[in-house]
Chains A and B, each alone.
Chain A
Amino acid sequence: MNDHIDLNRLRDPSFIAAVEAQSGQNVSTCYQCGNCTAGCPAGFAYDMPVSQIMRGVQLGLRDSVLHSRSIWMCLSCSTCSQRCPNNIDVAAVMETLRHMARKAGYVTVPKMEKFWLSFLNTVRLFGRSHEIGTMALYMMRSLRVFTDVDLAPTAIAKGKLGLLPHIPPGGAKPVARIFQRYKERARREGVRP
């Protein structure tokens, strides 16, 4: 199961260049100290620790990096970026990898994508996030009806699950226009919106 990696065949220099160009980070400055992995609050759910994702990018192992679960489980909290001694914005690299994976049609953790789409749908509709709406859409998309349903009473009691959406003072339209612009660009560039 742990086959040796044929670097002549699997190393893809254009992948390294593409990640560096899209993320704006110089991944060769990473010296693999592990600070990013040490502080990662989502690390328990990763199949590859974030420092190994960085290593994969350094070696140009496109497929193993883009197929990893880790890039989908990343919370974008940016603790890794903040701790990096070499000032690499690791979270930006993770985000770049997610975009690249999506563009290539690899979504290793589909329910994460579904959750995000549900979340973004409510933002587009109301201009701000709407928790109940996100929950409902996610349940419909994923058919995971009972996920975390036990947390609902506590969340409602604490006012974290408001029924009505909060619409910002300028209305929801300006935010929807941002989505429209993104959608057009995505269509031009051939990304799944």
Chain B
Amino acid sequence: MSKIREAFLNKKAFIPFITCGDPDLDTTKKAILQMVANGADLIELGIPFSDPTAEGPVIQGANIRALAGGVTTDIIFDFVKDLRKEVTIPMVFMTYANVVFSYGAEKFISTCKEIGIDGIILPDLPFEEKEEFLPLCKQYDVDLISLIAPTSENRIAMIAKEADGFIYLVSSLGVTGTRSEIKTDLASIVKVIRENTDVPCAIGFGISTPEQAKKMADIADGAIVGSAIIKILEQYKTEAPEHIGAYVKSMKDAIR
């Protein structure tokens, strides 16, 4: 069983996202330790990309700040290697296909395995293109996470059948960012997913409040939160970790 599955074992998973190096890696580390201490089940670590086309303004801002701060893929690999001494819950990278491709796919994916990264989420790598990295992911035992969207319809079964780790169910149309209301009929999408796989399914995009997290975790196996956490970083900068800890606690408590 992949280590990612453990995050969903007998519980609803809360999955916070953070962009590595926003505004600096010291803050990222403190924030992650706060997330872990307050009940995060799996952590999504963003490797910044210059042109993150699936992100709304909030996470775009995190990418810009992190790159301006000077982080690179190599620096983040060293950071994670060090972080693994203290963090035992599963961690996945979230980045863009070009970051993996340009580094050299084999070098990138084998390094993930070596430093203790359990999976990779690439929002610009749909089912049709997953052969780009899947054989290497299988070889090095790193889960390539599949995404399913509100527009997937006839594609849900096909994607779910071949999914590894967990399924990232995109809650709404559009890019990342908080939303006051999520209108998609997610329950019927989850039903089709469950008919086709036992891989757990977590919902992300637009979730910011404990009420939303509870609702999503009731429908699926977990909730993913990104922009709401980045907003705390935007507001409190290096003082953010403590506030992130309190926020993660409120979200995890809501879905317990």
Pair from one complex: no
